[in-house]
Amino acid sequence: MTFEVSTSWPTASTRIVVLLGWPARHSLSPQLHNAAFRVDGLDLVYLAVPTPPAAVHDVVAALGAIEVVGANVTVPHKRAVVEGCDVLTEEARLVGAVNTLHWTEDGLVGDNTDARGLGDALTADLAPAPGERWVLFGTGGAARAAAVALGRLAGAVTVVGRRQTAAEEVADLAARTGAADIEVVLTDQGERLAAAASAARTVVNATPLGMGGQALPAPLMALRADQVAYDLVYDPAVTPFLAAARARGAAGYHGLGMLVGQAAVSYERWTGRPAPRTTMHEAATAALAARQQPQRP
């Protein structure tokens, strides 16, 4: 299937790709994907579709009925859409969550590009060594993808969560994908959490905390100058977690690298062509910078 633009855009033949989330209006995905479609001359448009949890299955069915090309799926739907897929990729089965949908002759295909996107970003930003120690905070869909990425990097991973069973499931994912060592620490285990944070080179926040100005548990907010704070949140560009780390001299990275990495893999699945990653990164960076500017009264 081709999506080449032959006339002015958009037209009655323009096909749709969407983002499903609740909320969804904050996402930079429309800017980066539409920039990529334009530079590649594709007759596609990417739209954000805010979808309440109770409506997600109906919305997915409706998208299939109107022949949408594909979709990204973000919080809180990444695990909910799994049951609606006709086919799951090995990656989606491994992570246990779906962030990319693609309608094909075989039906609705569910994939997960988060682990590959994060692994590429971590390698580019940090060049981690095998056996390096990480703290992974979170037990949701983003944390599951992060556990796979850290396992593939052969990291020693401490998973931090509120519930033992959920944290153990995430730690098991890291172990199954190659982690050198795993450990589980609960958020209310203050001394153990402080020790784990102190021993790690990098602390990864794989929760939405920070999007609304929230802080992480206190030991994760007290990194040293030789440590790294890696926040999968990208808006705001400086969360309380990153601000606290940088104030102490630690390095801090937000989630834009992961966003672009996972978006590029999704793009390739939908279009069958290499993603213009530089264009996508530039578009996302410009959109995020514009969003951080103070609003005029």
Active-site residues: which are they?
78
Convert 49-71 into a string of H (helix), E (strand) and C (coil): EECCHHHHHHHHHHHHHCCCCEE
**Number of alpha carbons in the 13 Å side-chain half-sphere of residue 121:** 27
Distance separating alpha carbons of residues 10 and 58, to the nearest angstrom? 27
Distance separating alpha carbons of residues 69 and 29, to the nearest angstrom? 16
- DSSP assignment of 261-285 equals HHHHHHHHHHHSS---HHHHHHHHH
Residues shown for the chain = 297
Q: What is the H or E stretch that residue 87 is in?
A: strand 87-88
Contact 69, 16 (CB under 8 A): yes
Contact 113, 100 (CB under 8 A): yes
Buried b (16+ CB within 10 A) or exposed e, 50-60: ebeeeebeebb
Question: 């951080």: which residue's tokens?
Answer: 292
**Which structure tokens are listed for 168?**
């153990």
Query: Hey, which bits of 120-254 come out as E strands?
Result: 133-137, 156-161, 181-186, 202-205, 228-231, 251-253
